[in-house]
Amino acid sequence: MSHTYGQDLNGKWLLKQMGVGKMKKTPFQHLLDIENENAILYMDLVPSENQLELKFKNNSLFLTDDKKYADFKVQDENNLSLMVEGNINDKKGIIEMDFIRLFPTITDLTIEEIESFTYEGQENEKTRSKFEFNKEMMDLETVKQLKHKEGQKMKIEKIDSTLFLAIYAFGKKSVSLPIKEVNSNFIRIYGVPTETGEVIATRTE
């Protein structure tokens, strides 16, 4: 969809957050794949039976049966929103779904090399976030009490040429954060819910 709406929207877009006003979170792993006037909304980031085929018409998205699915608004060249009618606290309302454009990750490293490193983000001289891969992040006794085989782990995954920091909770993927750039010195992540910019962490191990 190059020029009809004044923006080139072709490509893949990740759901960053959804909700109403400032009350937004990311409960789902949705990926919007746009090609000219057509789009597919993948509910689980990858092709599956759980997906919607959509078509752009007059600033709205329609299902294959011509039923309106959502209005859409381009915030800027890398951010767009879908406005979907839904139920909010048992009342009908408009739910905003904010998507961010995905870019190829800048890196010369393999996934195995990245996962061998540990990165930490600092804020006010304190560790704000720690990225350590394929290691249990929860106390094993707590996991056992909750009757789960594993608690929380981080992995590096890939869709096309974009790498993601994927967080799994109790064996199920809960968050996928796209990686802008990663090397043996630092990792830059974008599309983090509630964050307006990028999160940068430096390698410690």
Per residue in 28-55, pLDDT (tens digit) is 789 999 999 999 999 888 767 779 999 9
Q: State how many domains the chain has.
A: 2
Is residue 2 domain-resident?
no
- At 113, the pLDDT band (50, 70, 90 cuts) reads very high
| Chosen domain end from 82, 101, 120 | 101
83 with 71: CB under 8 angstroms? yes
Nearest to 200 by CA among 107, 122, 109, 113: 122
Tokens of 73: 């608004």
Tell me: do 95 and 147 sit in the same domain.
no
Tell me: do 138 and 61 sit in the same domain.
no
| Chosen domain end from 78, 101, 124 | 101
Tell me: do 17 and 97 sit in the same domain.
yes
Is residue 5 domain-resident?
no
Note the pLDDT of residue 182.
98
Tell me: do 97 and 172 sit in the same domain.
no
Is residue 106 domain-resident?
no
- Only one residue has tokens 């870019």, namely 103
- At 125, the pLDDT band (50, 70, 90 cuts) reads low
Note the pLDDT of residue 104.
98
Note the pLDDT of residue 6.
54
Amino acid at 127: T
Taking only the tens place, the pLDDT of each residue in 61-110 is 999 999 999 999 999 999 999 999 887 667 788 989 999 999 999 999 99
Tell me: do 130 and 183 sit in the same domain.
yes
Tell me: do 165 and 88 sit in the same domain.
no
| Chosen domain end from 101, 124, 158 | 101
Tell me: do 54 and 136 sit in the same domain.
no
Q: What's the 3-state SS for the chain?
A: CCCCCCCCCCEEEEEEEEEECCEEECCCECEEEEECCEEEEECECCCCCCEEEEEEECCEEEECCCCEEEEEEEEECCEEEEEEEEEECCEEEEEEEEEEECCCCECCCCHHHHHCCEEEEEECCEEEEEEECCCCCCCHHHHHHCCCCCCEEEEEEEECCEEEEEEEECCEEEEEEEEEEECCCEEEECCCCCCCCCEEEEECC
Tell me: do 130 and 191 sit in the same domain.
yes
| pTM score of the predicted model | 0.86
CATH classification at residue 84? 2.40.128.20
Q: By residue range, what is the domain housing residue 28? A: 11-101
Tell me: do 48 and 129 sit in the same domain.
no
